Structure 1
């Protein structure tokens, strides 16, 4: 063989890589680079633990490299080698971006939220920062994998070599486990959130559970919990209730709750009662919305069960209430409105409030006006699902003339805005929501004056939002370790004081109580005067203030009653 041919063979062999080495390289990359959030949190937990051990610290990446190597060695076989490794790298880069920049955790609830999101919402997260990150840490490494030349081996040789690698990794894992079992148990027990950050296997685990439960579980028979609900008789005047279902509004940014910025300037003089200590059922719309309308409590909640039985709207409708759902939140009521009349506002609507992707919440007022002009029943419930403060494109949730707090953050990569800009944008969304609430109340007052009806308004948000506190943005963290910013939500109550049967002082006292979305089912039925065996009076936040207390309520407003003027 000539010297030039030998040199060519050496170079060719040098450029080739065995499948086992490629898998090991990808495992190291996934653990050391794309699992940085997991490693950082784990290292922090170990360093801050009482039995801190340097060798234990070093063992963590070694352990996970071996575990990743075992898993990939078992599935990246033959022709699946490159596709599996490429998929692992690209998917992990997307997860790493979301976790690093927003603090996102891809658990079961987040997978459900992603699956149930529409394209407009998904593309709101696409920005230059995200594209550059995924190209650098996902696409470029994937190209190296795709272009790598794999050394050819016989099937028998490949199996033997692969078995040796898996066996060696199992031995290393066993030795580490034997040496530091107590350390791993202690850190895991005291930091249960760490497992949620393992990329990408937490996503795969959550996706498998979601698919199993939603696509492969047998359908449930619909359960009618109460077949004979009825309405408590009124004084003969029609009753209209509007529920404004807020989106991503956190209670701490409401000036009605003591926030230093005037985010409730439009409603502060409308005698609204703000309940101060309300916690949400979940940290994402896909969980909170069906949960709050369900008879199930937060601890009992299961989406499949909730969707296969009556909710509060079903019970109200069966009792004789005319129920209408108007949706400006991607046209999704999460199954709550499936059995009642509903309107889905399309972003393509020829309206000044719509831009083809989203509509401002003022468009809900247009639909509300139509309904209020066509009241057909003695009792009417209108639920308006708002776009509210949905991020990360907060700046698209309010019109220019409602940009009260400046400078704001007119971009989707919100982590690159200053804290002042980000909070100003978010506060503008709260202020705009407050404006819409004030407009609803204005219309209800006009209705009461012209028809003598009794009107009520409830506003409640599905969940809150993180604005960079402790490096976390947006929402959707597992409830067990979600911050208060994502779970503390506003609940507002208003009733026309001229026709109210509630004591203002009593309501203000009730507003101090610690409560949650678990109270919403009963509070709503109570407001509607629906009598049902499902109704639990002790869970109704305003039941104690209802009754023959109209005089007390009007006194609370400083309004003289006929009885006082006699």
Structure 2
């Protein structure tokens, strides 16, 4: 056809291309590929508002880079959804992704968290009480505006006219290819800035919604399927107890696992506010608070199994299968072991030893004091309720060899810090009484958090008082350490769970307290003043397993004296 002929096309032929384009874009079109790209545009530009805010606040990225990055996110999301753009599938996929993106926008924007595979594990192990603390009006608003509203619009679209399978497949593949091509071209256009930004700010990759959810959920599912089944591998098969003097008392170690306590807010470690008023009254030569302790992880699901392992963090993070832990080795050595829990469980650590929960306080125990439990959860003081009766119910032969008690706190678990301390222990007011922390003045958030530490101080002081009552029968001692720390608004971050590689110090710097009373066998075996010398020496969760083993006189092939904090202090 000559060029002149093109000017004399019939009107309907000349207008066919614009009409087709308008038909593809018009609101009543329900073609799956159209829906996929419209949803990709909505989620990339609106549900990613925390990402765009973070890039805007950073000094390095230029406006051109932010615009190109937004295009890359839209293209990548559109390419992914193009593969799923089938009539009976797309609306289900978009319903899940839109609501997920809306929820992630709230949590990332409100608390500064990132959504990586570790966060998926944390979510899977969160109980109903912890979930309740995260629900508020801002979450409902985000779900409504960013999720339900576009979903309602999509569901109202009429069904698209039938299309041949080959044509639909070709269109979906074309949408995928064009999205992929656009993403690559935009990345090449700003490659130098993109490389620098992603290298210096690795957390950004886990803020890209909903791609972060797709990746993290897939990675967590793959890891779950690859995890070996069956019982955990045996460790410390040769576990035994060292001989005790004929007149010596069996050891009693009370191991308190704290929750979400950060070292910098402990007055024993130099914090200006009196968050440890009762512990501060104890003799300084029997109690030491270590000031430079690093956690295994930034969340309970990561830290708890790691800190009870003999491997140390570096080896534990590369461990492929499951293996036994400190409680198994102590139990095999012949000691009585009891785990008492006031949180969401022991993450499998206590499965093979006696254990119970404060939510299951037996009727035979003394009546609960008023206000200790509200039917939904208990204050940590409930861990001490009826403790002597619980100990008396253990195997008497094992008790004659020694006892290790583990108390797993609710501690300072957020964001509803105000729920973690009883009225009589609220030393700092006013406190934030909301789980939407960003809506409270920061000083009120800190007040509520510090009150939880006063409550922990009260628990530890009560535990020491109980241990003192057991001294006629046992050689007692206490070791407290928190599983991870917490962000309280520093750099816009709240809560915990950041990927360990770039987590702030607030989430990995944890308190550790040792109480070794005078007159006991352990105290008598230590060099004078050596306990206090541990105060400023670096320590970590790597030391917990071996310090506990050495404390109660247990030995096995997995015991490392160089990781026993007290080994260097023994005479």
Give me the TM-score of the superposition, normalised by structure 1: 0.88
Aligned mates of 2:328, 2:504 — CA distance in 1: 33
User: Are 1:382 and 2:382 counterparts?
Assistant: no
- The answer on 1:39 being equivalent to 2:52 is yes
Among 193, 199, 202, the residue aligned to 2:203: 193
- Superposition pairs for residues 186-335 of structure 1, below 5 Å? 186-215=196-225, 217-219=227-229, 222-235=232-245, 236-271=248-283, 272-302=287-317, 305=320, 308-330=322-344, 332-335=345-348
Query: Are residues 55 and 405 of structure 1, via their aligned partners in 2, closer, same or farther at CA, if it must alter by over 3 Å?
Result: closer
Distance in 1 (alpha carbons) for counterparts of 2:210 and 2:24 = 34
* Per-residue deviation, residues 366-394 of structure 1 (Å, max 9, x unmatched): 14232455663231111111111111111
Cα distance in 1, alignment partners of residues 23 and 52 from structure 2: 37
With 100-109 and 249-258 compared, the bigger mean Cα shift is at 100-109
Contact 1:111 1:206 in 2 (8 A): yes
Matched with 1:542 is 566
Structure 1 residues 217, 40: CA separation in 2 closer, same or farther (over 3 Å shift)? same
Q: Which runs of 5+ in 1 are unaligned?
A: 1-9, 548-566
1:149 to 152, 158, 163: 158
Per the TM alignment, residue 201 of structure 1 is displaced from its structure 2 partner at its CA by: 1.9
Aligned to 2:429: 406
What SS does the aligned partner of 1:333 have? coil
- Going from structure 1 to structure 2, the CA distance change for 1:395 and 1:23 (only over 3 Å counts) comes to same
Question: Structure 1: how far apart are the matches of 2:438 and 2:362?
Answer: 32
In 2, are the aligned partners of 1:349 and 1:356 still within 8 Å (CA)? Answer: no
Task: Specify which of 525, 540, 546 is matched with residue 516 of structure 1.
Answer: 540
In 2: Cα distance, 1:367 partner to 1:470 partner: 43
Shift of 1:216: 5.2
Q: Deviations over 1:235-284 (max 9, x none)?
A: 32122110011111111110000000000001102132001100100111
The 5 Å alignment of 1:484-523 reads 484-499=505-520, 500-501=523-524, 502-503=526-527, 505-523=529-547
1:427 alignment partner in structure 2: 450
After TM superposition, give the deviation of residue 109 of structure 1 in Å: 1.2
1:226 deviation in Å? 2.2
Q: Name structure 2 gaps, 5 residues minimum.
A: 1-21
Q: Is the 8 A contact 2:485 2:510 kept in 1?
A: yes
What does 1:350-499 align with in structure 2 at a 5 Å threshold?
A: 351=368, 352=370, 353-371=372-390, 376-448=399-471, 450-451=472-473, 453-499=474-520
Contact 1:19/1:150 (<8 A) preserved: no
The equivalent residue for 1:3 is none
Provide the rounded CA distance (Å) in 1 between the counterparts of 2:558 and 2:444.
46
For residues 168 and 232 of structure 2, the distance between their equivalents in structure 1, rounded to whole angstroms, comes to 54
Q: CA deviation at 1:206?
A: 1.8
Partner residue in 2 for 1:560:
none
- Greater alpha carbon shift after TM alignment, 392-401 vs 484-493: 392-401
Tell me if structure 1 keeps the 8 A contact 2:255–2:406.
yes
* Alpha-carbon distance, 1:442 to partner: 0.8
Query: Aligned residue for 2:15?
Result: none
CA contact under 8 A between 2:106 and 2:138: conserved in structure 1?
no
- TM-score, normalised to structure 2, is 0.88
Counterpart residue number, 2:36? 23
Q: CA RMSD in A?
A: 2.4
180-189 or 428-437: which moved more?
Answer: 180-189
Aligned to 1:340: 353
Q: Answer yes or no: is the 8 Å Cα contact 1:76–1:85 preserved in 2.
A: no
Number of aligned residues: 530
- Secondary structure of 2:281's aligned partner: coil
SS in 1 for 2:256: strand
